A = this chain, B = another copy of it.
Amino acid sequence: MHKRIEVCLTPALLHLYDIKESIVVVIDVLRATSSIVYGIDNGAAGIIPVAHVEDCMAYAKEDFLLAAERDGEVVKGYDFGNSPFSYTKNKVAGKTIVLTTTNGTKALHMARESAHQVVVGSFLNLEALCDWLRAQNRSVLLLCAGWKDQFNLEDTLFAGAVVMALRKDFTHFDDSSVAAEDLYRLAKQDLRTYLHKSSHSHRLEQLNIEEDVKFCLQLSICQAIPVLKGDILVAIGQSR
């Protein structure tokens, strides 16, 4: 079997890929998938990604934490948004979180439609994720959530980090995986400095969340691999 690694640079290109037999890794490193990884790693029982802010509100009566982010900011009236500092042990352990974000949750839903399996990646769980992907006998699609269907640098760099880690274990690479890997090799000595070139970085600076960005660029500080089971993200291997 020829195991492929492909990088889908934005959700707007997902229809070009045949993912029925593939594992799809959803990537929205600033900040949704970093916070999801960190939250699951800190013992959250599960995270339910929903598409719209109103969908989130539908869960308000139950014992859920409600997290909603739009255009980089916490939606008024919600417990929190997608800052990783809201997903610490004392806040999330044992809890179920309902989460909606600008890009990441949309990508999760799109992937769920047709993928064999959907997991969540970020720099925080890079090594654990790659070890796990290596052990599966499946092709992998790295799905960058981007910014409103546009290509972005930070998600592409993470995809490149995965490609670099898995290059020896896969046989087929598409052009976008080659590009992503080369960009990661350029950037990896100092991801934060490299990302100063990016448009999203400027957007984030305006939101005054530099500490979030630094946090999200840490490599492999978490072991958790969130996997979509039905409509909820749980730690892989965890039964529900």
Q: Per-residue CB proximity of A177-207 to B under 8 Å, as 1/0?
A: 0110011001000000000011110000000
Task: Evaluate whether A156 and B179 lie within 8 angstroms (CB atoms) in the complex, with A12-B13, A16-B12 already known.
Answer: yes
Q: Which residue of B lies closest to A181 (CB)?
A: B197
Task: Evaluate whether A175 and B152 lie within 8 angstroms (CB atoms) in the complex, with A9-B9, A10-B13 already known.
Answer: yes
Asked if A16 and B175 make an inter-chain contact with CB atoms under 8 angstroms apart, the answer reads no
Is the CB of A85 closer than 8 A to any CB of chain B?
no
Asked if B176 and A186 make an inter-chain contact with CB atoms under 8 angstroms apart, the answer reads no
Chain B contacts for A176, CB-based, 8 A: 150-151
How many A residues are at the interface, by size bracket? 20 to 34
Give me the interface of A with B, judged by CB distance under 8 Å.
9-10, 12-13, 16, 148-153, 156, 174-176, 178-179, 182-183, 186, 197-200
27 intermolecular pairs with C-beta atoms under 8 Å apart: A9-B9, A9-B151, A12-B12, A12-B13, A12-B16, A13-B13, A13-B150, A13-B151, A16-B149, A16-B150, A150-B174, A150-B175, A150-B176, A151-B174, A151-B176, A151-B179, A152-B175, A153-B175, A153-B178, A153-B179, A174-B199, A175-B199, A175-B200, A178-B198, A182-B183, A182-B186, A186-B186
